[in-house]
A and B are shown apart, each in its own frame.
Chain A
């Protein structure tokens, strides 16, 4: 065998290996269980837009459904959940049940922030079809703010009423802003937010319908409330430019 043919054989072999490995990488997410059927679309059923402390399990499980081209649920289709920020799923992959749905419990990663979880399935042509599921992980401080807000603030700031808690929103002349109202609240500085909470509406030329909490709450509690307002803002609050250090 000449040297030339040996090199050619090596190149061909490497190429084959490369193709094989790429093929495997494409296959691997769904290799857990043999798919019995394939749908053409994946839709979220429930579990979207939850809020939990960083590293905690989400209260509601994530439920997705695989449908065929006519929108009917497909049983036995492969589903896989993934996330780049360290969310763990129990289980992370499997086949849809008789109702075409697949349910998993998600434990968010340890960093506070917005998580975009992806649920994927494969259609008959082995093409991956995905749906994003957004969740929010909040820091311990924002979580403290959330607890305080649930007690002191939401009665007026949350328009939604429940049987347990009737909203006072409709009874107010100047309507309060929901803490998620990023479009409005993101324009207010931390100092101004702190002043409004501490000294009440009149501190910034707003009505006294917003009472002062500076004596009722500690300074650190008010900081926590501001942290919660920032964390829950939608659109998200841009703190400062985030620096990603290199490893």
Chain B
């Protein structure tokens, strides 16, 4: 052995020439490590894979020409983007590789944005400058922003898109939930443009609650709001029974009688079967179900979501209060979205009797409360103020809380060290936010956030909306922002304005950028319709769209009020684009006949509209049997030319119709005065 080593040394370092040669070889070998290591890097492996993949394809030459080996980088200084993702994700921008289904070589699915304009990390998160799979995708100790899971990717859209894009349904839903579940009543959430998300729910004032309901109902409701109404957005505070006893005691004790009294209309007695039937008819005819839902025997919710669910209303509302509310809800709550129906005393009694019959005695019978003591009331007040009840509800003797909970404007950039994790939780921001929404009190003792009743998709949507609230979103160039559409402060004026507020037109109709979307936008209604028709419609709304279940209610307006509203609409709500009385250019007596041909043959309008009730069947659009008595000729003409320019959300497509076709169709439609008009009966 020793002789062998001696021999080896002799051979390699025997004389200076040998030693020089050997050292040279060792040096060369050690220098070769660098290119060799590069050859063994992950990205180099993927680039080789890519070359292999494209070699066999029809457009191999073009793909090969566009390919560059080495590190790729997208550098966008104004956004702070340094993304090297395309080093491995080589085929990202090659549309012809759409059929490849293997990461990381496949093409990006087509999106409205270019990679070179936005980079990758803007949308997907992760560490753009990293060049290893591990560092780029997953979090490290120094980098707690791993890639965003695909299901939250719409949150990235929300950094710039403050409007409701059609493509970001989850983000839109999340932002709506922030507003409609009252999240923003405790937490301030300002969008990147600084506009605070405004609550859209309407938590009732509790200052006169004893008029409305009983202490037992408050107890049962607070114990579990969803057991009373499955659709309630009120969260569960998980109060103990003694806390519920004290809070209900305090809420009743702070309540003051409404001036004018709830007992103004006498409480109706128990209605008989015929009265119940009649009450149900008034309920139906007044389209209460357009806004209020009732759970039917099969457990399905039937009706709208604008107002509270009424399945157990008889268990909650005192009959005298309910009668007053049905008579005129504005007396109790001037800000309510419920219209003031002009019911007569008999109708009020019928509707009240019908609603009181919707009771669930089992729900409340088990609740027995002893008379409240002063100590209980004092403790109840303390609990009410400690739990921030006044963030949503007005309560006598407890000041309104401001910013009761932490601001969430930058929650999407929350450093993980500030988040509280349970031992078995994955340490990532989306998981933290989801847990906070799903089961807030599980994250630590003493947390006050209540338990909301949300489905998994709703939790995901809310998380998406909150993840969009990043610091980065606020520092992006403002020019990149797609502005949000916020409701205007439009108020109609004068006597008509007062009536429109009384009837809450804005709950369903939008005018001038303010209002609901359940019914048509009325911004240009004055240009659209004829006054006679409008007046009759206000008095007795007939059916324009037979397939709709949400309809305009009959408010029982008198002639004076209907006239005031009709005049106001006709005068004020006119489009500046054209004059409603403008004559049609070049009218010809043959126009109407040609128009009929166009209606039935060229455009086949009968697919969606009815002109001749005997043979036409379409009911996607409004019935046109009497359209000549309803709409103005100029409106029909311009509508046919460009419907969406007059009402943005219409279903009617733009037909790119020639002026002649539009004029002839208009002539045909204007002649449709309705058979009923000839017969002299109501349409």
Contact = CB atoms under 8 A, between A and B. Distances in A.
B675 interface: no
A59 B111 contact: no
Contacts of A212: 653-656
Nearest to B105: A245
A107 interface: yes
Contact of A243 (B101, B111, B620): B101
A166 interface: yes
Contacts of B170: 53, 56
B682 interface: no
A152 B651 contact: yes
Contacts of B651: 151-152, 155
A173 to B, nearest CB: 8
Interface string A195-219: 0000000000001110111111000
Given A139-B109, A243-B53, A55 B653 contact: no
B437 to A, nearest CB: 13
A147 B166 contact: yes
B656 A214 contact: yes
Given A168-B619, A211-B655, A239 B99 contact: yes
Interface residues of A, number: 53
A57 B151 contact: yes
A144 B166 contact: yes
A208 B618 CA distance: 14
A151 B602 CA distance: 24
Given A140-B111, A164-B549, A168-B618, A55 B153 contact: yes
B613 interface: no
Given A168-B620, A209-B607, A147 B169 contact: yes
B475 interface: no
B16 interface: no
A144 B171 CA distance: 13
A242 B101 contact: yes
Contacts of B105: 245
Interface in B75-130: 98-102, 105-106, 109-112
Given A56-B460, A144-B167, A247-B49, A242 B99 contact: yes
A103 to B, nearest CB: 11
28 contacts: A56-B150, A57-B456, A61-B456, A107-B151, A139-B109, A140-B153, A143-B167, A147-B166, A147-B169, A152-B651, A152-B653, A155-B620, A164-B549, A165-B547, A166-B547, A170-B617, A171-B619, A208-B603, A211-B603, A211-B653, A212-B654, A212-B655, A216-B653, A223-B110, A243-B102, A244-B100, A245-B52, A247-B49
Given A151-B651, A220-B112, 14 more contacts: A53-B151, A55-B150, A55-B151, A112-B109, A141-B167, A147-B167, A172-B607, A208-B604, A213-B653, A216-B654, A224-B167, A240-B99, A243-B101, A245-B106
Which 4 pairs between the two chains have the least Cβ-Cβ distance? A55-B150, A245-B102, A110-B150, A215-B654
